[in-house]
Structure 1
Amino acid sequence: MNYLRAGWILLIIIGIAACGRKKGQPKQQQIVQDPRQLNEVVAAQVAERLEYIAGNDGLMEDSVAAFRLSALQYAYAQHQGAAIWSDNGRMHKSVFSLLDWIKNADNYGLPPARYHKAALEGVQQQLDRSRKDAALWAKMDVLLTDAFVKMASDLHYGIAPRDSITLRSDSAYSDTVLAGFLKEALRQGDVSATLQQREPVHTGYVELKEGIQLFKSQYGGKQWDTLPQTYTDTLQFRRLLAMRLMAAGLYDTTGMPATDTAGLKNAVKAFQREFNIYPDGVAGKRTIQTLNKQPEDWLLQAGLNMDRWRKFPDSLPERYLLVNIPAFRLNVMERDTMVLESRVIVGTPRTRTPVLNSVMTNFVLYPYWRVPYSIVFKEMLPQIKKNVGYLAEKNLEVVDHRGNVVSPDTINWSRLSKNYFPYVLRQMDGLDNSLGVMKFNFMNKYSVYLHDTNARGLFSNSNRALSHGCVRVQQWDSLAMYMVRADPRPAIRDSVRTWLDNEQQKQYTMHKRLPIYIRYFTAELRDGKMQFYEDVYGEDKKLMTYFR
């Protein structure tokens, strides 16, 4: 290439950001008779396409947004404005490995369309017919460069933006770092090693990736008709239901009459168990909605949760506690091994358990419960105004701003409201306390904590989004014993047991604090099978907007 020509093209690339003018589509065809001239003409076409992106709000020719214009500009500046993925009409080896990654992006929880899959396939077909079209080579080059830098970033940081609880201190790869990744991939002639090194190493992420492959092996390529949304127990509905369950491999009608209601019910139960629905064998509203989801819908749900794992830091503490809200489960992990598990009850959709990071510091035996004002005003004050005896029924005492207990009969409750309430309602300790026998404290701005409950029968519910926001723990006693395990005082376990037996109000401060993460995962690999959970707070729906 003529060096003056190369310098001119480079100046165009650098000046694009300052231009930003609205621009029509770049040339869609430019035939070069001498293939030895391709590099020079392709470089000019690349510059034109970067100018197009700058002038069209970051959108590329296929209407998919570019990852970051400055990253593209820097990558081409490092190549003196020349094509990155080809040389005078010959593709570099790394093109084919990147195209394979794009084609199979959903294996990594990423949507292939985000990486210009359709446009690149179209360019490939056209290049098979016309290898001398500089416009096609340039189009392919810019699409591939954007796909690479976008995928390198997405594999590490995720597609969705950072949120208030993201633990990463860094937020994005710089243009220089991305260009370095690109240079390394081109040197190796294969993008795989470079991209794989961007992925998280967390066990939950790795298992989800494995689960996607298992799910694909079971349901990949399958499609099925949707069932009527309104359940009707008719022969026609049962036939449609049987066909749907057959498509999933859960029901074999060979030799079975259409009236085989027992077999059909067992097949519905099998489906419900697989997708975490109470297995009553009835194809009700939720079961039908779940049956109507296609395999690609489930793969997208798995991808959303891989994105959530990408928001974690590169490494987690040696030991930590993880609450998974949609799974209604708590796990304590040590060196990627689960050492304790418990069912939990979380907040309702109206009173959500917040996603957060913190450190558990202590637990309290037979605690008081200071009733949050939101509960006081919405639920309790109207009842108290009707009957002041409500306080005694709920084991509540009234405390003024000085910490003194006040007799309820001395208060004019009719004058109190949300705008004027100079008291605190406190539920006294004991087995009837809503917090149960034990409360686990950790710093957070939401005033939530983990605790026992006096309504322990609710742990048998399949849907356990039932609290006002705190997390109720079924295995609270096992969790307490785990927390005292690291205490150097050998008798402390016996002391805690004695305090419990004697119903003593005590606080135990942990010798070694326990990091706690409350998270929202609606898919995971569990016991060798993909498990999907109901999107109880609608967070998956919000996240999907970044994937479609």
Structure 2
Amino acid sequence: MRPLVALLSLALLALSAGRPGALPARQQGPAQATPTGPAARIQALFRDTLAGALPLVQVQSSRAFYRRRAHAPAWCAAQQLAPPGRAALALLVRAEDFGLQPRHYHVGALQALADSLAQPQAPVRQDAQLARLDVLLTDGLLAFAVHLRRGQLHAFTPSPLEKAGGPFAPAAWLAHALAAPDFAGALLRCQPQQREYQQLQQALARWRRQPAGRDAGPRRRRAQQLAVTLERWRWAAIPDAEYVLANLPAYQLEVVRHGRVLQTHRLVIGRPANPTPTLSSRLTSFTIAPEWRVPRRVATTQLLPYLQANAQRPSEHDFLADNNYLLFDAQGRPVAAAGVNWAAVTAQNFPYTLRQSPGCGNLLGNIIFPFANPYGLYLNDGPDPQRFERPYRALGHSCLQVQNPMHLAAYLLGPDAARAALPTEAQCEAAPKSRNFFLKRPVPLHVRYATCAVVAGRLRFYADVYGRDEELRQQLFGRGLAR
């Protein structure tokens, strides 16, 4: 009986549909209906079947932004851009003031859509244009915010400003900025707030507004150099209110506190063959009149040839003694250099360690500031004060040598400096006595690579000592000059 009942039921359904032998047509659901309201039109733009209709960059963040507001338009009202929308578009138009390029944020398409709204057209088409304009503007703003926060080339890498567990949420940031009295100001606070970035960004905006004249090409090149440096700062923004900053191309170290430069020191940095790496660490201690434990690489490549030459041509001069070096075997026992067959010693079988005593000629100078890093680097005084007077100071072996280091030590000690009775450099050289100091308040240290900076209110450009700018410039702007 059951198969017969089923056949009769199918026949009755076919007759009721007016099409013998056919099932009734499925009714059109609301998902396939033509959208009529602004929210429905915006929602339709995000459907999977229509996603390709707009060249969205921040698809997920754009979806999240509109879900927060039930897909209501954010930037358009009364068939035109509302005041927040005009402010938002004006901000994207001047993206080059921030070292970015408007074409990455749909600016051409947005301007064309905004212009088309002023032309007479059918209401249905106008509503569709408004929805496209709203969504494209949101997507452009989200991409703009991400690039300001993290940089264009590291858009998916959290910046140092983002603490663990709290990544940058561009949709929430944009919604907050839209609700703020000053939209542009609120959005731009996603940028690094440190003085080096802020001053450089403002300098770029002023630079672009100056008449170029016959120097248009060189000025565009300088603008790109500023943009490259801003990009680097976004990757390695400084979240601290107080810090020590070493800028390698400037050969300069600054002590910065709450946006003010309290001390400035000249630096000797690693030569291009041994470049000083960029990093972030903390200064926690320093040592006056330090002993230098010679790294094995230095001992075998630089000191061993002197020892071998000294053994071949005996004289009244002892290379190790003349330079305050002590020689030790693998067990840490002192060894007399004269009793070593240096001709049989090679870099591969070198079984010794060398230490240089404190005092005159010590390659660390009168003071060393160690800091945690994977490169074996430190900040120190150096044995040759005249090196700090040279305009080109990429002369060292990776480590950083700082001029007037006792001033830096006094600052780091803070109120304890007077009680510590730090010696002058002359006193330290005359009577070297090793002393260790541990800071009650460690200070962040940042080593960065910036080929331009604002110094005492003036924009300065530095030589690209390690040749790092050009590759980055090409990644951002291509092989030619920016148009």
TM-score range (shorter-chain normalised) is 0.7 to 0.9
Change (3 A) 1:307 1:121: same
* In the alignment, structure 1 residue 150 sits paired with structure 2 residue 143: yes
1 CA distance for matches of 2:323 and 2:266?
Answer: 26
C-alpha displacement of 1:450: 1.3
Task: Give 1:336's match in structure 2, choosing from 259, 269, 278.
Answer: 259
The match for 2:282 is 359
Cα 1:50–1:84, aligned 2, differ >3 Å: closer, same or farther? farther
In the alignment, which of 112, 116, 120 is matched to residue 110 of structure 2? 120
Query: 1:51 corresponds to which residue?
Result: 51
Q: Is the 8 A contact 2:42 2:71 kept in 1?
A: no
- The alpha-carbon deviation at position 346 of structure 1 amounts to 0.6
Determine the C-alpha separation between the residues in 2 that align with 1:465 and 1:210. 29
Shift of 1:468: 0.3
**Residue range with higher mean Cα deviation, 411-420 or 478-487:** 411-420
**1:202 lines up with 2:194 in the alignment:** yes
1:414-443 alpha-carbon deviations (Å, 9 max, x no partner): 554444333223333322122222222222
**Match of 2:403, as an amino acid?**
Q
Q: Distance in 2 between matches of 1:398 and 1:164?
A: 48
Cα deviation, residue 412, structure 1 = 4.0
What is the alpha-carbon distance in structure 2 between the residues aligned to residue 349 and residue 337 of structure 1? Answer: 31
Match of 1:295 among 214, 219, 238: 219
Are residues 169 and 400 of structure 1, via their aligned partners in 2, closer, same or farther at CA, if it must alter by over 3 Å? farther
Deviates more, 1:348-357 or 1:508-517: 508-517
Instruction: Give 1:133-532 correspondences, 5 Å limit.
Output: 133=125, 136-137=129-130, 139-161=132-154, 166=160, 168-170=162-164, 173=167, 177-187=169-179, 191-217=183-209, 219-224=210-215, 294-311=218-235, 315-317=239-241, 319-388=242-311, 391=320, 394-487=323-416, 490=419, 492-493=421-422, 501-532=430-461
How big is the alpha-carbon RMSD for the aligned residues of Structure 1 and Structure 2? 3.7
Q: Distance in 2 between matches of 1:384 and 1:148?
A: 65
8 A Cα contact 1:155 1:195, kept in partner: no
User: Identity rate of aligned residues, in percent?
Assistant: 26
Do residues 68 (structure 1) and 58 (structure 2) align? yes
Distance (Å, rounded) in 2 between the aligned partners of 1:153 and 1:365: 45
Partner of 2:415: helix, strand, or coil?
coil
CA contact (8 A) 2:281 2:446 kept: yes
Which structure would you say has the larger Rg? Answer: 2
Aligned to 2:98: 108
1:189/1:437 Cα in 2 relative to 1: closer, same or farther (>3 Å)? Answer: closer
Q: Distance in 2 between matches of 1:457 and 1:96?
A: 58
Rounded Cα–Cα distance in structure 2 between residues aligned with 1:214 and 1:91: 28
Moved more, 536-545 or 155-164: 155-164
Q: Is the 8 A contact 1:358 1:443 kept in 2?
A: yes
Instruction: Give the stretch that moved more between structures: 351-360 or 368-377.
Output: 368-377
1:25-81 Cα deviation digits (max 9, x unpaired): xxxxxxx9xx9777755653453686328xxxxxx74xxxx5433212323444555
CA offset digits 1:262-291 (Å, max 9, x no partner): xxxxxxxxxxxxxxxxxxxxxxxxxxxxxx
Q: Cα deviations across residues 187-215 of structure 1 (Å, max 9, x unaligned)?
A: 56973143133233322222223322442
SS in 1 for 2:215: coil
Separation (CA, whole Å) in 1 of partners of 2:232 and 2:166: 16
The answer on whether the counterparts of 2:158 and 2:167 sit within 8 Å (CA) in structure 1 is no
Q: Distance in 1 between matches of 2:181 and 2:190?
A: 17
Contact 1:365 1:438 in 2 (8 A): yes
Moved more, 529-538 or 112-121: 112-121
Separation in 2 of the partners of 1:163 and 1:426? 43
For residues 543 and 506 of structure 1, what CA distance do their matches in structure 2 show? 44
Residue 104 (structure 1) shift = 1.0
Which structure 1 residue ranges, 5 or more long, are not aligned? 10-31, 54-59, 226-292
Q: CA 1:533 to 1:170, structure 2 compared with 1: closer, same or farther past 3 Å?
A: farther
Under a length normalisation based on structure 1, what TM-score does the superposition of the two structures give? 0.69
CA–CA separation in structure 2 for the residues paired with 1:8 and 1:377:
77
Counterpart of 2:411 in structure 1: which amino acid? Y
Q: How much does 1:520 deviate?
A: 1.8
* Aligned residue type for 1:433: N
Shift of 1:164: 11
Structure 1 residue 112: deviation in Å? 2.2
User: Equivalent residue of 1:301, what SS?
Assistant: helix
Aligned-partner Cα distance in 2 for 1:514–1:326: 22
Distance in 2, matches of 1:379 and 1:131, equals 80
Which residue pairs with 2:25 in the alignment?
Answer: none
- Matching residue of 1:263: none
1:14-33, aligned counterparts within 5 Å?
none
Cα distance 1:376–1:497, how it changes in 2: closer, same or farther (>3 A)? Answer: closer
Which digits, 9 at most, give the CA deviation of each residue in 1:211-246, with x for residues without a partner? 2244234x4444537xxxxxxxxxxxxxxxxxxxxx
Letter aligned with residue 175 of structure 2: K
Moved more, 411-420 or 338-347: 411-420
Shift of 1:328: 0.5
Q: Residue deviations 1:501-535, cap 9 Å, x none? A: 42223333334333222222222211221111122
Q: Could you list the per-position Cα deviations for residues 285-344 of structure 1 after superposition, in whole angstroms to 9, with x for gaps in the alignment? A: xxxxxxxx6223222322333344444667414x42211111111112233322221111
Q: Structure 2 CA distance, aligned partners of 1:414 and 1:130?
A: 94
CA contact (8 A) 1:204 1:524 kept: yes
State TM-score, norm by structure 2. 0.77
Shift in alpha-carbon separation, 1:449–1:504, aligned structure 2, 3 A: same
Deviations 1:377-396 (A, max 9, x none): 44343454444465556543
| Partner Cα separation in structure 2 for residue 547 and residue 49 of structure 1 | 33
Using the TM superposition, give the Cα deviation of residue 470 of structure 1 relative to its aligned residue in structure 2, in angstroms. Answer: 0.9
CA distance, structure 1, for counterparts of residue 414 and residue 355 of structure 2: 31
C-alpha distance in structure 1 between counterparts of 2:52 and 2:432, whole Å: 73
Give the conservation status (yes or no) of the 8 Å contact 1:168–1:313.
no
Instruction: Return the offset for 1:355.
Output: 1.6
Q: Give yes or no for contact 1:49–1:142 (8 Å, CA) kept in 2.
A: no
